[in-house]
Amino acid sequence: MRESSESWRDLLLDLSVASDNGVADCGPPTARSLLEGAREVWPTTREQRCWVHKTANILNKMPKSLHTRQGARCKEIWMARPRRMR
């Protein structure tokens, strides 16, 4: 229960300021529960996966011989200039 979405929701309800952006690694149950709780408390908050963890998850599925090149490509993505939202 202590890392459930309900527990996170209760903690977030105690905060006085809403968050515009939420960043988490969606792998561990704790992070998923945190984002689920945040969705309930702050439905307009934008979510973003942590690029460090996202890159690690991608590289873990590839042969080590591709890690340097593909890691650099992932970095190009997260370092890219943001697109204007419509």
> Tens of pLDDT along 5-54?
788 778 777 776 766 767 666 666 666 777 787 888 888 877 777 788 88
42 and 20 part of one domain: yes
40 and 61 part of one domain: no
Contacts for 18 with CB less than 8 Å, ≥ 6 apart:
41, 42, 44, 45
Contacts for 58 with CB less than 8 Å, ≥ 6 apart:
70, 74
30 and 65 part of one domain: no
82 and 43 part of one domain: no
61 and 41 part of one domain: no
Neighbours of 37 (CB within 10 A): 21
Contacts for 1 with CB less than 8 Å, ≥ 6 apart:
7
pTM, two decimals, is 0.51
